[in-house]
Amino acid sequence: MFLKNQPKENIQEYYNLLKIVGGLSNLFSDNNIPYLYYRAAENIFCKAFEANNLSRGDSSADASKNSMGIGLKTFLNSNGNTLQKIAEFNKDRNDYHDLIKNPEDFIRYISLLRNKRLDSTKVIHSIDNLVYHCVAREADRFLIFEEEMNFINIDQINNIKPKPNSISFNDKIHEYNFNISKSTLFKRFNTNNTVELKVDILKDPYEVLRKIFEEKNLDFIKDHKPEYEFVILPLFSTRSGKVADGSGLNQWNARGRKRDINEVYIPVPAVIHKIYPTFFPPNEKGISFNLHLPNGNVLSASMCQDSFFKINGKDVNKGKGLMSNPNKELGKWILRDILKIPEGTVVTYEMLVEIGIDSVEVRKIDSKNYEIDFKKVNSYYDFVDSLNE
């Protein structure tokens, strides 16, 4: 487990932060059960334990530290025995729709998808072990406990019970339930061996916060630090909605010159350059930047393929894609490490959907450093829609 192996001072800091945030519950409700927004729980955990926050990406883990991935859950304690969501499979509906008629085949398929996602999370972030860290909430306290985040033991699946809108099953380790209409997999969590943390909820948190800000003469605007600028890029062609056979992730399969079997690039649609003209550097010889991967490795990268835009009255070659130098390094990471496809196999959009990703988020730290992480299916279109709004 994670918590018991952390320094005492970090554990105490974690408990203190949880108490503070729980004490502000009357900002949101008048219930005697402390409120804990899941994003706050993630940020508190990462701050207290100096862990990597993975929640912005599409990962089965919300945080990582020292090769351990942690799935963070917060929920109301329901008699110490509650089903909680652990995965969604909305984009896989077309693939499994016909299997629902046969519950055994259907559950096996869903279990395979779940295991693939866990495996891709471990590879992407260089994780050896996965655990759940849970904060259950009940009257005036938090209950903290942990358990392993296991792969579903497909060979031991039994007790499959179909109902009109769900199918329950277990694998002799955990109990699961798949909600058909929501395409969501749930797992039963048992609040055993918990650490109890008493929470004193402030009667008037508004007045307490007012006094703090008045005493410190805090300037909200001056002290605000904006987050890093970011864009989301598709791993597929936005024209066809598919992965092209001879470009993008299949650039190695393009006609013409001889290419390395791992040669790829990530498409950068024109709309990204138009709205963020200075986000990426120009596609010019000698201009490169550091691309930081989720696993801690750093690649040299640059823009590729000519694509000209008028910026400040001048034609600037911004490029149609993002590639590594040498270009095979990015392909080794995506094609072999993440997708785990053999050399010479053409990537399809269905392969991306199978592990729940079809986009990447690129964050600009400064002109020489960018970070990249995978995003769930449809993230690119959601991003573009938000820009249009």
Q: Are 343 and 261 in contact (CB under 8 A)?
A: yes
Q: How far is CA 350 from CA 119, 243, 377, in A?
A: 17, 9, 11
| Residue 60 shares a structural domain with residue 195 | yes
**pLDDT for residue 227 is more than 80:** no
Q: Are 70 and 64 in contact (CB under 8 A)?
A: yes
Residue 215's pLDDT band (cuts 50, 70, 90) = confident
Residue 217's pLDDT band (cuts 50, 70, 90) = low
User: Quick one: tokens of 320?
Assistant: 């149609």
Of the ranges 91-95, 224-228, 276-280, which is most confident? Answer: 276-280
Residue 312's pLDDT band (cuts 50, 70, 90) = confident
User: Quick one: tokens of 252?
Assistant: 């190695």
CB atoms within 10 A of CB 227: 7
Which range of residues forms the domain containing residue 237? 229-388
**Does the model's pTM come out above 0.85?**
no
Percentage of the chain modeled with pLDDT above 70: 97
CA distance 312 to 272: 17
- The one-letter amino acid code at 221 reads I
Which of 216, 238, 272 is the C-terminal boundary of a domain? 216
What pLDDT, on the 0 to 100 scale, is given for residue 221?
46
Q: Are 277 and 265 in contact (CB under 8 A)?
A: no
| Mean pLDDT computed over 381-385 | 92
| Residue 155 shares a structural domain with residue 241 | no
- The one-letter amino acid code at 205 reads P
CA distance 383 to 60: 21
Q: How far is CA 301 from the centre of its chain?
A: 23
Which of 162, 189, 216 is the C-terminal boundary of a domain? 216
Q: Please write the tens of the pLDDT for every residue from 329-372.
A: 999 999 999 999 999 999 999 999 988 999 999 999 999 999 99
371, part of any domain: yes
10, part of any domain: yes
CB atoms within 10 A of CB 308: 14
Angle at 90 between CA 87 and CA 92, to 5 degrees: 100
Which of 216, 245, 264 is the C-terminal boundary of a domain? 216
User: Quick one: tokens of 138?
Assistant: 């009940």
Collapsing DSSP states into helix, strand and coil, what is residue 347?
A: coil
| Mean pLDDT computed over 369-384 | 93
* Residue 114 backbone zone (phi > 0: left; psi -120 to 50: alpha; other: beta): alpha
Which one, of 178, 201, 199, 175, lies nearest residue 189 by Cα?
A: 175
Query: Is the alpha carbon torsion for 91, 94, 95, 96 positive or negative?
Result: positive
Residues forming a β-bridge with 168: 161, 177
CA distance 268 to 237: 10
What pLDDT, on the 0 to 100 scale, is given for residue 1?
86
Collapsing DSSP states into helix, strand and coil, what is residue 78?
A: coil
| Residue 174 shares a structural domain with residue 249 | no
Q: What is the mean pLDDT of the chain?
A: 91
| Residue 260 shares a structural domain with residue 192 | no
| Residue 14 shares a structural domain with residue 151 | yes
Which one, of 12, 67, 60, 62, lies nearest residue 41 by Cα?
A: 62
Q: Please write the tens of the pLDDT for every residue from 113-149.
A: 999 999 999 999 999 999 999 999 999 999 999 999 9
| Residue 165 shares a structural domain with residue 237 | no
| Residue 111 shares a structural domain with residue 146 | yes
N-terminal to C-terminal alpha carbon distance within the chain: 44
| Residue 16 shares a structural domain with residue 66 | yes
Question: Nearest 5°: phi and psi at 293?
Answer: -85, 160
What pLDDT, on the 0 to 100 scale, is given for residue 389?
67
CA distance 123 to 59: 11
| Residue 282 shares a structural domain with residue 182 | no
CB atoms within 10 A of CB 274: 12
**pLDDT for residue 328 is more than 60:** yes
What pLDDT, on the 0 to 100 scale, is given for residue 100?
79
| Residue 190 shares a structural domain with residue 257 | no
Q: Please write the tens of the pLDDT for every residue from 245-255.
A: 999 999 999 99
Of the two residues 164 and 265, the one the predictor is more confident about is 265
Q: Please write the tens of the pLDDT for every residue from 10-63.
A: 999 999 999 999 999 999 988 899 999 999 999 999 999 999 999 877 789 999
Residue 218's pLDDT band (cuts 50, 70, 90) = low
Question: Nearest 5°: phi and psi at 204?
Answer: -130, 80
| Mean pLDDT computed over 201-209 | 92
Domain count, the chain: 2
- 122 Cβ contact partners less than 8 Å away, ≥ 6 residues apart: 69, 128, 130
Say how many residues make up the chain. Answer: 389
Please name the residue that has the structure tokens 């800000």.
Answer: 213
221, part of any domain: no
What pLDDT, on the 0 to 100 scale, is given for residue 213?
80
| Residue 247 shares a structural domain with residue 334 | yes
222, part of any domain: no
- The one-letter amino acid code at 114 reads R
Q: Please write the tens of the pLDDT for every residue from 256-311.
A: 889 999 999 999 999 999 999 999 999 998 899 999 999 999 999 999 989 888 77
CA distance 251 to 346: 10
| Residue 347 shares a structural domain with residue 205 | no
223, part of any domain: no
| Mean pLDDT computed over 4-12 | 95
CA distance 298 to 324: 10
